[in-house]
Structure 1
Amino acid sequence: MSCQANKLAMSRALGAAFLTHQVEQLEKSVSAPPRNNNNYNPNHNTNWRERQRSHPQPTDSRRGQLPVGGIKFTTTTNPATNQPYQRDQKERPMTVGAGPRKRGAEDPHPRRGGAKDKDADVIVVDASVLVNALGQLKKWCRDGQEEIIIVPLEALNTLDLLKKGSTPLAQRARTASRMLESQVGTNPRVRVQQDAAFVLWDQIAFSDDEPSSPTTPSPAPAPSPSPEWVRRTICCARWEAEHADASRPRVVLATLAQSPATQPQQGISPVPLPLSAPQNRHEPRASGTLVAYWARRARLTVLEVSSSPGGGGGGGAPDSVGGRAVSPEGRWSANHHHGHRGGRGGGGGGGGGMVERPPAVKAMMDVIAQPSRVVRVLARGEKLDP
């Protein structure tokens, strides 16, 4: 029993001595000064807060005021050889007296798209711009622009007349209508002509000859009396020019720079193609030629906008195959031949494309292929005549 008691007492004494030794080591590691790289002891543990400040930067008493953008030398000790050496450090070029820009000071780097880059203060858009240059209109409606867009009532009437049908022109007109519906009432800079915002046609002083424009080398011949829709657009633009605010004096009428090509690549065809009559009798309204002519005679500033095919959301792409205008039956024939390359027999088995079309779609395409049958697609909100 005495031997067992002695072993237990000795074990307790050794445990107490070990704990006392550990406490002393921890107290030394906390109160010890920061370690140096030259007398580094791996068994010596320092506090982690002291490790971050274990490499103080030496100060160079010889360093003084250097010229702006120069090179300053700092004395550093090499930890491997314990030899001091000078290290050059390039300073970033600074401007004399530079500091945080004060409130109200002029910005040395102005942002793009500000007031200096705007085309005009007030822009009256013609229907030709809405149909053929919708991308430019979207640019004016973008956030950061300052142009005020005025949409004449006659331009809205033209869109209503052009958006009926399934032609590319009708598709672009419907896209322009949807774009205006989303902007008017939401964007304060896009406004529709007021009912009383016009001047009388007889009160406008017209010039005898049309001023020369940068795109037309010679003035166009004077047409017959102007149509009513041209007069309404000119009267609206003339009213905006006369009633413009003093702080926004520049008012322009935006029209299409050139009429869209109705027969692209006609000269490439080896066979003379027949002249295609306009499918919509209101199609001349989308050219912008008459509006630009009478606007110059009315002493209005005309802003010619280039056509942007991508702005209409794919208006003319569905009716073209390889850059050539084709009919609906030609489009079906082209898709059919692209899907079926033809076997050895080249027979008329009528092997379709990779995806089999339902019988209802085939019957509809057969009806469209017949020249005597006419299929009319209703526009949004349009009703059949009783």
Structure 2
Amino acid sequence: MTTSPQPRPAIARIPPYVAGKPPVPREGMTTYKLSSNENPYPPLPGVVEAAEAAVRTMNRYPDMGNASLYAALSAKLAVPTDHLALATGSVALIYQLVQAFCDPDDEVVFAWRSFEAYPIAVTAASARLVRVPVLADGRHDLDAMAAAVTPRTRVVLVCTPNNPTGPAVTQSELDAFLAKVPPQVLVVVDEAYVEFVRMDDAVDGVATYRRYDNVLLTRTFSKAYGLAGFRVGYAVGPAALAGALRAVSLPFGVSGVAQAAALASLEREDELLERVDSLVAERERVVAGLADAGWQVPEPQGNFVWLALGERTLEFAAAADEAGIVVRPFAGEGARVTVAEPEANDRLVRLVQDWVSPS
């Protein structure tokens, strides 16, 4: 019989979150971190100044109601403020929604491989993981996901564009899927990379949530907006759903500095979207370079590409490290590589040309 406090059994089953590693410094070589899907650009003009001004009041608690940021998001998206929920990154929203909607042994359905925080959040809540394999081209198998829904299903997670494989679902596919899902099941459309999508029939998340009472969107300031270090994410959904997320949120979770930086970034969105366009152009250039090397990748709609390397994944990651670029390997499956500075992208293409051959 144990005589010390013991955590819940589910805690021992939580898989670790593996963050993207920084590059190893190499003498005489600029190294690049392509492992975390970060925006390579520095903060927009005015954002640092807004953050610095907020730092001067660090002795005070931040606005727990996030009033200014809620108002700005409400104006940007044309949604009521009570249809919004803020948290420390969209990943925190995933944890909160599982906590808010799932009892122990309830089911959460999601594609796999997809965002690695999903099984962590689900397991931490003692809910059940229902992984549905992605298709050979890295896309969600929405038919199989709909078939996986049972009376125990409480939440379905749709990651679009899918991290780490890259493809996005279309609006037609999403509508057909939603028609099959019972209305009492929460469907979360995880749009962390929505600003990078360039495709026909792209999902209009806000219009979709307006049509369905069981749809919630999650978005972030970490990727396109370049605020990964400040941790700001937001959800958009019907008042009852957004309110449930706010009810279980960490008090004062989004810092005053983060709120100020997010507000300043929203005010400079035109400049930001120009940078996003540049990254999309780089993404297209990388895909073309990989194709010239004989390598086809799943259609990328985020700021990254997926190399399905199978058992050669760790070998490729080591070779990339030697070349001064660090990628995010998933052992036995493939490597996700962030689209970043042109020189880093060039280095990736050269590495593929010199080292890897499609199997």
Instruction: Calculate the TM-score normalised by the size of structure 2.
Output: 0.25
With CA pairs under 8 Å and 6+ residues apart, which has the higher RCO, 1 or 2? 2
Decide which structure has greater helix share.
2
Say which one has the larger Rg: 1
Decide which structure has greater strand share.
2
Instruction: Calculate the TM-score normalised by the size of structure 1.
Output: 0.23
